[in-house]
Amino acid sequence: MKWLRRFSKSVQGKPGARQSAKSPKAVKQVAATHGTRGVSYSTSPLLASKTPPWRSHFLVALVGLAFAGLLGRALYVQVIATGFYQKQGEARFVHTIDLPASRGRINDRNGQVLAASVAVPSIWAIPKEVDADPEKRLALGRILGWSPAELEHRLDPASKFAWLRRQADDATASKIKALGLKGVFQDREYKRKYPEGEAAAHVVGFTNVEERGQEGIELAFQKDLQGRGGSRSVVRDRLGRVVEDIGEAVPAMNGHDIELSVDSKVQFFAYQRIRDAVADHNAKAGSVVVLDVQTGEVLALANYPSYDPGDRRNLSGAQLRNRALTDIFEPGSTMKPFIVGLALETGRVTPETVINTSPRSIVISGWSPTDAHPHGDLSVTQVIQKSSNVGIVKIAMSMPAREMHETYTAIGLGQRPQIDFPGAISGKLRPYKSWRPIEQATMAFGYGVSASLFQLAQAYTVFARDGEIIPVTMMRKPPGEMVHGIKVFSPKTALQLREMLQMAAGPGGTAPQAQVSGYSVGGKSGTAQKQEGKGYADHKYRSWFVGIAPINKPRIIVAVMVDEPTTGGHFGGEVAGPVFSQVVAQSLRLLGVPPDLDVKSQIVANQKLQAVEESF
């Protein structure tokens, strides 16, 4: 020890000390006697040395700076950036739960539900918290129908959130819940259900997984149906369980219900009949439109092929098309009554005026419209009954093209139907100044102009409503509401045309198959070759029939179209006429319209019915 060495040196200068110091025993005795207690620390060279003042100042400054830094940080966190840190803190335990609004229902005119939202489970996960048990993860993958690789991809720990199955069925949700997987949760969402299935698919349409309308009424009335979602703030624990609510919840506002003019029973029956007709004639597609003459309401709008709005897997464009509104075609002979109506209205002819149709054809600009059979002299009424091309061309060529164009425009050709429904198109009607004589002639029997089946159905309200064309709607109207139309023909002309249409659908006409037991009917068949490229395809036809019932006191208009029938004939009367008959019979009974004909006498008369081959 240093002090011992110093002590040894100090005693060497004293008398007798040298001798004593030389004795180790003496040194030990001294050390033992004095020990550390005899040392004076004030004489220590280290403690006696003075510390430089700057060193203590420096240490005090460092401590002061540290406290200043802490104070500044506290001020920044607690005052300046308090909003940011509160959000960051809340993000770790406070969550906002969306409260979805229930989408409004879509009902038919009698309150039958066509579309409604029901609560179903949706399964989600926080990937980094999902239980790592390999057996449970494999079981989860099997329930979801995923391979292990796909499951691991979905549960990538880098993701903060992952949907496992949205709008799952209850069985799947129960199986996943039974696994007890940590980090996997379930919430309730709304899923759209469509009770009428494919029968009403093209009317109702469908929504996506977010319940946003994609087609049909679901799309047309998206704003009214969707409502407004709400929210609530909650505190969740680390397992995702709700611990408590924070603040006031914002309640959801459910969407408004929509009441359609469609009658689900009429709709279902119309769909069945057109589906069967397409199958019976091995056709490509078909459509039916049923209108209420008194109100302008659409009672049915059916297409085949169709689809199930609730299960759209493998859905094709052919199934999705609402052909009654989106497909346009040359309407053929269904236009002939409008030409006759214009001639009657302007006094150029009367129902008894005789038209010479010999020798079965007429030459105009080097082209010859012909009749299916030679008819000789025909009255104007018979021109409609026999569907004579020659007769209608001679009537049309006696009037200016401008008048024809005005009449076609008045009945809605070349204009988009004014209806609250997506997809309706206008068809084609060229300006009359560009018509050549041959084009005026062909337009008289429905070539060179195009329209949809829906447009034809609306146009025939002119005959059913005493010369007025009325607006049509997909929405139910209040009982007793008056419907006002636009005058096209006089009531007298409309009555004369109804009588002609009745003959066209009766003995000696082109569509006796359109007759309905117990009810008087009238209408006009149409047949046209399909356009293909710059010409017309061989052996490809569209067949249709548009008619009114009962003819004496009209209540409904039914329009039927069958696309490309390949078996059982192709004329409108024999293909579309029977569908018209079946739909009319069922619709009038459902509407409570009493029969206006004696059934027994009608059966006897119908035994002699034979269709006249239609000219097209």
| 427 and 562 fall within a common domain | yes
Q: Write out pLDDT tens, residues 161-176.
A: 888 988 888 889 899 8
How many independent structural domains does the chain possess?
A: 2
Instruction: Please tell me the predicted confidence (pLDDT) of residue 69.
Output: 86
| 424 and 528 fall within a common domain | yes
| 268 and 362 fall within a common domain | yes
CA angle 560, 516, 540 (to 5 degrees): 30
Instruction: Please tell me the predicted confidence (pLDDT) of residue 228.
Output: 82
User: Does residue 37 sit within a domain?
Assistant: no
User: 219: which 2 tokens?
Assistant: 């799309």
Q: Looking at residues 579-588, what average pLDDT do you find?
A: 97
pLDDT band at 454 (very low <50, low <70, confident <90, very high): very high
| 371 and 520 fall within a common domain | yes
Give the CA count within 13 Å in the CB-facing half-sphere of 551. 26
| 401 and 529 fall within a common domain | yes
| 329 and 357 fall within a common domain | yes
Q: What distance in Å separates the CA atoms of residue 416 and residue 423, rounded to the nearest whole number?
A: 10
| 143 and 282 fall within a common domain | no
| 271 and 252 fall within a common domain | no
Torsion sign over Cα 484, 486, 490, 495? negative
Percent of the chain with pLDDT over 90: 53
Residue 143 has pLDDT above 70, yes or no: yes
193-220 b/e (C-beta count within 10 Å ≥ 16 → b): ebebbbbbbbbbbbbeeebebebbbbbb
User: Does residue 612 sit within a domain?
Assistant: no
Residue with tokens 């600009």: 365
Write the DSSP assignment of 497-544 as a string of letters: HHHHHHHHTSTTSS-GGG-BTTB--EEEEEEEEEEETTEEEEEEEEEE
Tell me how far the alpha carbon of residue 220 is from its chain's centroid: 8
Residue finishing a domain among 259, 287, 307: 259
Q: Write out pLDDT tens, residues 187-212.
A: 888 889 999 999 999 999 999 988 89
CATH of the domain at 129: 3.90.1310.10
Backbone phi and psi for residue 211, each to the nearest 5 degrees, phi listed first: 60, 45
Q: Is 117 a catalytic residue?
A: no
- CA–CA distances in Å: residue 197 to residues 108, 206, 261, 302: 14, 11, 18, 12
Q: Looking at residues 266-288, what average pLDDT do you find?
A: 97
Domain range for residue 481? 264-606
pLDDT band at 420 (very low <50, low <70, confident <90, very high): confident
User: 515, 393 in Cβ contact below 8 A?
Assistant: no
User: Does residue 15 sit within a domain?
Assistant: no
Residue finishing a domain among 217, 233, 259: 259
User: 266: which 2 tokens?
Assistant: 């009429």
Instruction: Please tell me the predicted confidence (pLDDT) of residue 27.
Output: 46
| 601 and 495 fall within a common domain | yes
Write the DSSP assignment of 448-468 as a string of letters: S-BEEHHHHHHHTHHHHTTTE
- Of residues 519 and 41, the one with the higher pLDDT is 519
Q: What distance in Å separates the CA atoms of residue 145 and residue 155, rounded to the nearest whole number?
A: 15
Residue with tokens 């049909």: 216
User: Does residue 86 sit within a domain?
Assistant: no
Residue finishing a domain among 234, 259, 284: 259
Strand residues in 307-401 grouped as ranges (E):
328-329, 354-356, 377-379
Catalytic residue among 122, 261, 333, 450: 333
Instruction: Please tell me the predicted confidence (pLDDT) of residue 72.
Output: 84
CATH of the domain at 303: 3.40.710.10
Instruction: Please tell me the predicted confidence (pLDDT) of residue 414.
Output: 94
| 290 and 224 fall within a common domain | no
Q: What distance in Å separates the CA atoms of residue 146 and residue 155, rounded to the nearest whole number?
A: 12
Q: Looking at residues 567-582, what average pLDDT do you find?
A: 94
Cβ burial of 282 (10 Å; 0-12, 13-18, 19+) is exposed
Q: Write out pLDDT tens, residues 197-251.
A: 999 999 999 999 888 999 999 999 999 998 887 777 767 665 556 666 666 777 7
User: Does residue 400 sit within a domain?
Assistant: yes
Instruction: Please tell me the predicted confidence (pLDDT) of residue 107.
Output: 97
| 286 and 185 fall within a common domain | no
